Structure 1
Amino acid sequence: MRISIIVLVLILVGCKSPKKDYDFTFFKWNIHESYYLKFNSSDTLYCVDSYGFKEETSFAILNKDQKERIQNILDTITFPKNETYESQVDDGETNAFVLKNKEECRKVKIHGFSGPNQFWSFGETLERIKLNLQFVKTNKKIDLKEINKMVISEVKFVPRIDSLK
């Protein structure tokens, strides 16, 4: 009987619900800085500094608390139906979030303090985590195609008509 109880307890303790594996990208832009953070449920956080038309990639190792803080927010945050919230003023700060897992891709872009407050808070949390890490430069290329669809405006080509002919 004791052995059965011990085996049952061990099985129950060993059966944790699996953590979701995320592919998460955060973008922050304002007049002073522009960068991306990439998190994929591991202990590595990538940062792509894109301020001043450059693209420098670096990485840092998250401690257990930092990783769990990000993971817990990703497990509980609710993405709104609208993907874009922008104020009428062009200056300010823009944050964009893209969260992909096996089933779906959710995204939101907020600008000028419009949009859900939980995303502004999440952006501040990511900023604090970033500021407390030591990043090391790397040559690794980070896939930013999905988030760039939201944050980089397309330049429309207008053909030039030469009227002097």
Structure 2
Amino acid sequence: MRISIIVLVLLLVGCKSPKKDYDLTFFKWNIHDSYYLKFNSSDTLYCVDSYGFKEETSFAILNKEEKERIEEALGTLVFPKDDTYESPVDDGETNAFVLKNGEESKKLKIHGFSGPKQFWLFGETLERIKLSHEFTKMNKNIDLKEINEMVIMKIPPPIIDTLQ
């Protein structure tokens, strides 16, 4: 009987739900800031400062509570069906999120305080975490192609006047 109880306890302890591996890229742009944050379920938070057309990569180590706060928020965020919410006014702030979990990828771009409030609040949480750390510069390229497709405006081709 004792062996059966021990085996049952070991099975229950070993049957924890698998931990999700998140890969989040966050982008914030306004007149004062332009940066990306990259979080991938480790204790490292990468920052790519792109203000002024530069790209400086740095990192900071998150404490356990910050890491858990980010993971908890990522587990509860509900991405809307539409992936872009923009106000008609060009100034303001833009936040963009690309969340990958395995093969699944979710995207959202919000501008001018339009879009789901939970994403504005999550962006503020990420900014507070960023501001609470001193980042160390590094020479590492962070792949930003997917999020840049959402946030960088494509320059239209020049119009050629063929009537001359």
* TM-score band w.r.t. shorter chain: over 0.9
Amino acid at match of 1:66: E
Query: In the TM superposition, what is the alpha-carbon distance from 1:42 to its structure 2 partner?
Result: 1.2
TM-score (norm 2): 0.94
Aligned residue type for 1:77: L
Q: Which moved more, 1:148-157 or 1:2-11?
A: 2-11
TM-score by length of 1: 0.93
Deviation at 1:74, TM superposition (A): 1.1
Are 2:60 and 1:43 aligned? no
**Cα deviation per residue 1:97-153 (whole Å; 9 max; x = unaligned)?**
001122321101001110000000110111111111221111010000000001000
* Letter matched to residue 31 of structure 2: I
Distance, in Å, in 1 between the alignment partners of 2:7 and 2:136 is 45
CA distance in 1, matches of 2:15, 2:69: 22
**Using the alignment, how far apart are the partners of 1:3 and 1:132 within structure 2?**
51
Q: Look up the equivalent residue of 1:58 and give its one-letter code.
A: S
In 2, the alpha carbon distance for the partners of 1:69 and 1:60 equals: 16
Distance 1:159 1:90, change over 3 A: closer
- Counterpart code for 2:142: I
- SS of the residue corresponding to residue 130 of structure 2 reads helix
Q: Structure 2: how far apart are the matches of 1:61 and 1:11?
A: 34
Structure 2 counterpart of 1:64, one-letter code:
K
Structure 2 residue aligned with 1:74: 74
C-alpha distance in 1, partners of 2:74/2:140? 24
> 1:160: Cα distance to partner?
3.6
Q: Which runs of 5+ in 1 are unaligned?
A: none
C-alpha distance after superposition, 1:64-90 (max 9, x if no partner): 111111111111211001111111111
| Structure 1 position 96 matched with structure 2 position 93 | no
Counterpart of 1:32 in structure 2 is 32
1:110-125 alignment runs, 5 A limit: 110-125=110-125
Corresponding residue for residue 22 of structure 1 = 22
Cα displacement (A) at 1:163:
6.7
Query: How far apart are residue 162 of structure 1 and its match?
Result: 7.4
- Tell me how large the CA RMSD over aligned residues is: 1.5
The share of aligned pairs that are identical, in percent, is 76
Aligned to 1:157: 157
